[in-house]
Structure 1
């Protein structure tokens, strides 16, 4: 029987997840049909009700703005998602005749893997741009990488709740700072993760461009369309290393694919995933 999986979000037409998942399932030889479905926060409960009891579903990828709202729609949250209150993955699991919807957060692993390969320093001096759902995973990833403190730069301090809750959950010191201070503060930082949507960091990029090159560290910009972002171009121009958001997406998708299919995701599968979205494979 063919199984089904999908990525949910709004908007969703730009998503690269269908290409990544389809390439992996073809390589693995498993019959999983993966699609993209536009779902708003308001429509999420009705959508989840509509697929309740349909045992053809094996998993859901969850993107913005649904990562916090989905927590209320699952039966259980495991792993990092349970501490963060933010999930990007739902796995349909059979348990004693019941179909459970189990939430996970694979963004943390996606961030850690992508920046480790970029050579980020141990216990990095760290900063995050933006305070939404993805920032929670970024905080947890900073903790895994050994950072003891992280600065979070936001336009509105009242919207940094996800990042603050994550810091409390994992036990890392966090300071919420205004975005107006970001340019001069992050220019020499070891690791910066931008969780802003596409083009939202363009004004910050312009401020950075006006500063002298400072031997910047590693920037992970989770926005990947259009690419390179203006922020990535300026960062690289200042001598820094840029990790595209597409690489993070690929590593978090690999963990989803493992959970949805029950198959190992080896180097050969990673290769076809990279090829499906034009992502160069790193050589180590």
Structure 2
């Protein structure tokens, strides 16, 4: 009997930690299945989907860069959230059709939900990045009536992202350099407010340029969230803690989005009571 499997696809793909997460959960639950990493070059994406469509053992795939947006027109159906985001990170077979969804938004929100469920006088998020992850984060935060300030190398791209994902929101686009330069803005009393500073870009990742962010832009009590996972404890997070801010690392979003994908692939709830051990594996 062929072993059921799911996988993560991308170009490159060797850096992905998704196999560690899913294999850990499969082992913990005693499920006889596998989860792999599959290198799919950009010009082979359509061929990959055609081959997997007819593979009875295939339970679906996670999608990482650079395919999250390119895969959308190749699918039979995309759910409303993924369509609004304009990016798919999870594909499954449903009734013989390739169906795309996006679990990045839910994964991003997971560590923030206790805070977002409280009443606040005012909520603002400063977001760095205009890629697929940023689109998911804007879509995730939009229902919470949060003012978003989106920074990107291309300010027009940031404006277009906000207009397409949440056209009714009260949001602002700024150039990336805006947050790199010090400000003497005097923040008012932030009691009762929720302020987030989010790195949704690859800046600060191993092999990439560091994130240039001046913490004079972060109001007192801000929470700093970095989606980068290599390294887990980025320089941005280290500097945030040095300035007295609470932090959330990229493993929170990575594990959170994998949770929702795992349920779809293997029809089981992942053992989240083992998160500490999983984090140790991912950090090693």
TM exceeding 0.5 = yes
Provide the rounded CA distance (Å) in 1 between the counterparts of 2:209 and 2:161: 19
CA contact (8 A) 1:92 1:102 kept: yes
**Residues 167-220 of structure 1, C-alpha deviation per residue, up to 9 Å, x if partnerless?**
23xx323322101112457x9781122111152562414x44xx5985351122
Match of 2:261 in 1: 256
**Residues 41-96 of structure 1, C-alpha deviation per residue, up to 9 Å, x if partnerless?**
33322222232311211111111221111111211111411322211110122x2x
Task: Say if 2:110 is the partner of 1:113.
Answer: yes
Match of 1:129 in 2: 128
Q: In the superposition, relative to structure 1, how do residues 163 and 53 fare at CA in structure 2: closer, same or farther (>3 Å)? A: farther
Match of 2:176 in 1: 179
**Residues 88-129 of structure 1, C-alpha deviation per residue, up to 9 Å, x if partnerless?**
110122x2xxx2111111111111112235779745211211
Structure 2 residue matching 1:124: 3-state secondary structure: strand
Match of 1:104 in 2: 101
Structure 2 residue matching 1:126: 3-state secondary structure: strand
Residue ranges of structure 2 left out of the alignment (5+ in a row): 188-193
Provide the rounded CA distance (Å) in 2 between the counterparts of 1:163 and 1:10: 27
CA contact (8 A) 2:90 2:261 kept: yes
Structure 2 residue matching 1:6: 3-state secondary structure: strand
State the shift of 1:238 in Å. 1.2
Provide the rounded CA distance (Å) in 1 between the counterparts of 2:64 and 2:153: 21
Match of 1:166 in 2: 165
Task: Say if 2:220 is the partner of 1:215.
Answer: yes
CA contact (8 A) 1:132 1:163 kept: no
Provide the rounded CA distance (Å) in 2 between the counterparts of 1:232 and 1:164: 29
**Residues 27-46 of structure 1, C-alpha deviation per residue, up to 9 Å, x if partnerless?**
22222211112223333222
How many residue pairs end up in the alignment?
266
> Normalization by structure 1: what TM-score?
0.84
Greater shift after overlay, 253-262 or 153-162?
153-162
Match of 2:34 in 1: 33
Aligned 1:192-211 pairs, distance under 5 A: 192-199=197-204, 200=208, 202-205=210-213, 207-208=214-215, 211=216
> Normalization by structure 2: what TM-score?
0.84
Task: Say if 2:238 is the partner of 1:233.
Answer: yes
Q: In the superposition, relative to structure 1, how do residues 152 and 279 fare at CA in structure 2: closer, same or farther (>3 Å)? A: farther
Q: In the superposition, relative to structure 1, how do residues 234 and 119 fare at CA in structure 2: closer, same or farther (>3 Å)? A: farther
Match of 1:277 in 2: 279
Q: Given the alignment, which residue of 147, 150, 153 partners 1:152?
A: 150
Provide the rounded CA distance (Å) in 1 between the counterparts of 2:209 and 2:148: 19
CA contact (8 A) 1:108 1:140 kept: yes
Provide the rounded CA distance (Å) in 2 between the counterparts of 1:65 and 1:157: 21
Match of 1:139 in 2: 138
Provide the rounded CA distance (Å) in 1 between the counterparts of 2:37 and 2:157: 28
Q: In the superposition, relative to structure 1, how do residues 40 and 6 fare at CA in structure 2: closer, same or farther (>3 Å)? A: same
Match of 1:86 in 2: 87
